[in-house]
Amino acid sequence: MTERALAPWILRALFFTALILVWSLLARAGYWDKTLFPSPEQVLQSLTKGLFDGSLLLACSASLRRLLVGYAISLVAGVLLGILLARVSWIEQTLGSVVMGLQTLPSICWLPFALLWFGLNDTAILFVVVMGSLLAITVAVQDGVANLPPTYERAARSMGVGGAAMVWNVLLPASVPPILLGAKLGWSFAWRSLMAGELLFVSVGLGHQMMMGRELGDTSQVIAVMLVIIVLGLLSDRSVFGVLERRMRIRWGLGSTTS
């Protein structure tokens, strides 16, 4: 690894080391009660306990299963709906206003509705996740397709391209950057919606683990679960969205293939 590639990792390592050191010093200073402001060692103990007794792993698997299923539904439906809103004027003039209005509604507002419809089960949480991420993806895709340069479509039509071929071979490839942005935004909204549902609905998951920590007065467990969620979010961003963004930049001539 070259020095240029290593430097950002060294900077991050120094930053997080300093952050943990400041956290430890504040915890040892005794300005707050240990139950309210635990030290890094206490949080590490909670993490270790959750890993060894299997409760944290079980919670992660349950939450990720709900998240991935809900996000997959949102991604497919959001891309299709966004294209329709951008390409069909009467759908945009009717359904488009509903989508824009519902987008301003916080995802937690869907939980009472979901419980009345589906009852106390995973389907209710799944519904909240879908409604939380679907609209964000839809609006991003709609804006991306609607704001494409008209020269793309004119050039394609001059070569005899039309109908479904226009969408799949011209509009969708040209809309990859906003679609990827919408997918990334939808992923973050899906996480927020999932946690909102799990915090208020008693079920196995990371949100339930946080609620158990609150009810037991165990702040270290709450922080431990929050750290797990942050790590999962960073891993998904680096390993999935980060890779896709780099490939997109290279494909569009905005990046280099060399590391």
pTM (two decimals): 0.81
**pLDDT at 246 (0 to 100):** 79
Please, what's the b/e burial string for 237-259 (b: 16 or more CB within 10 A of its CB; e: otherwise)? eeeebeeebeeeeeeeeeeeeee
Question: End-to-end alpha-carbon separation of the chain, Å?
Answer: 9
Q: What integer pLDDT is reported at residue 253 of this predicted model?
A: 63
pLDDT at 242 over 80: no
Q: By three-state DSSP, how is residue 254 classified?
A: coil
257: pLDDT confidence band, cut at 50, 70 and 90?
Answer: very low
Nearest alpha-carbon partner for 139 in 183, 174, 188:
183
**Residue 145's closest CA among 92, 72, 94?**
92
* Band (254; pLDDT cuts 50, 70, 90): low
pLDDT above 70 coverage of the chain, percent = 93
Position 71 confidence tier, pLDDT thresholds 50, 70, 90? very high
In this prediction, residue 238 carries a pLDDT of 81
Q: φ and ψ at 61, to 5 degrees?
A: -65, -40
Across the range 146-172, mean pLDDT stands at 77
Q: What single letter denotes the amino acid at residue 3? A: E
pLDDT at 208 over 80: yes
- What are the tokens at 240? 């999935």
Average pLDDT on 71-76 reads: 92
Q: Residue 187: how many CB atoms within 10 A of its CB?
A: 21
| pLDDT at residue 2, rounded to an integer | 46
Question: Which residue segments constitute the domains of the chain, with CATH numbers given?
Answer: 51-205 (1.10.3720.10)
